[in-house]
Amino acid sequence: MHSYRSNTSCNLSFEEKKMKLEEELKAFNLNSYEARVYLALLRESMTPKQISEHAKVPLPRIYDTLKSLEAKGFVIKGEKYSAIAPEIALESRILQFRAEFENSIKEIEAKKNLLAKKLSSLYLRKPSTHEVAVLKGINSIISKFLEIMNEASEIHITIRKALKAKELFKSCFQNLETKNKKIFIILPEETKISKEDKEYIKKHGIKVKFHNTLFDLLVTEKDVLIGVPDPTAQEPYHSIAIWIRNEVFAKAIQQNLKET
């Protein structure tokens, strides 16, 4: 009786482990049937009928499932079906994701250029010389950040909390024409710049100084964007910023930063 209980406990533990692995494989866009089949094939090569029995997948669904797993790089077909080694299969899947992502970005960028031209003809809003707005959320802030950067010729940026989101802000420079822009960045004194970041700074002609500041700031000839700490947020992506368009105010802060 004691032996039976022990075996039952082991079986439950194994089933729980399998279920957990199934869930983790879903991160690689495998559905439940695909995950079960791949886990079954890790133990040995099998025929479709054997796979159906071991993986508890209905036989009519086995062939579609195997075909999908082949396309995703998880199994190969010989006399029987076999699993690709996990390290290789998962790495191959990541490469697929990267290729798909890059293709989707290219498609969206092509559509963006065409759509922007169409929408620009409808955009009748005249720029104001004095304006104030509160921006909530990183997407709103990035949009305004890009707009300001595109219009400016001299840009001063002070970085404090935004350092945690540097990769996101670095991406803003990717499609920005920086050749005719003067860009100055003030970083916290304790900041260590990696080799990759040094190359990035050099590529975009950015001048860097080190000084501790109170806020994240973007200042141009007529705009000021102030990052305001959100006491309820622990992450840099839950952010608030104040945008001020006032040439006198902006130039005064610019001058102050030059003297820092």
Q: Where are the chain's structural domains?
A: 2-89, 130-258
**CATH superfamily placement of domain 130-258:** Endonuclease Chain A (3.30.870.10)
Global pTM reads: 0.56
Please name the helix (run of DSSP H) or strand (run of DSSP E) that holds residue 13, with its range, or none. helix 2-25
Question: What is the arithmetic mean of pLDDT over 108-131?
Answer: 80
The better pLDDT of the pair 8, 124 is held by: 124
Average pLDDT over residues 237-253: 86
Longest dimension (CA), the chain: 87
- More confident site: 257 or 236: 257
> Using one digit for the tens of pLDDT, what is the confidence trace for 178-221?
778 898 999 888 888 888 888 888 888 889 989 888 888 999 99
Which residues have CB under 8 Å from 4's CB, separation 6+?
none
> Is 73:93 a contact under the CB 8 Å cutoff?
yes
φ/ψ of residue 194, rounded to 5: -75, 165
The pLDDT, as a whole number, for residue 66 is 95
Task: Read off the DSSP letter of residue 85.
Answer: P
In the chain, the amino acid numbered 189 is: E
pLDDT in tens, 32-47: 999 999 999 999 999 9
Reduced to 3 states, what is the DSSP secondary structure of residue 74?
Answer: coil
Q: What is the DSSP string of 113-169?
A: HHHHHHHHTT--PPPPSEEEEEEESHHHHHHHHHHHHHH-SEEEEE-SGGGGGHHHH
Whether residue 151 is predicted with pLDDT greater than 80 in this model: the reply is yes
Pick the CATH number of 2-89 from 3.40.640.10, 1.25.40.10, 1.10.10.10, 3.40.50.2300: 1.10.10.10
The vertex-199 CA angle with 194 and 205, nearest 5°, equals: 125
Q: What is the spatial distance between Cα 183 and Cα 24, in angstroms, rounded to a whole number? A: 44
d(CA 98, CA 66): 23
Token pair 């499609």: residue: 175
Cα dist from 260 to 213, 250, 256, whole Å: 10, 15, 6
The closest of 39, 42, 47 to 81, measured between CA atoms, is: 47
Amino acid at 151: E
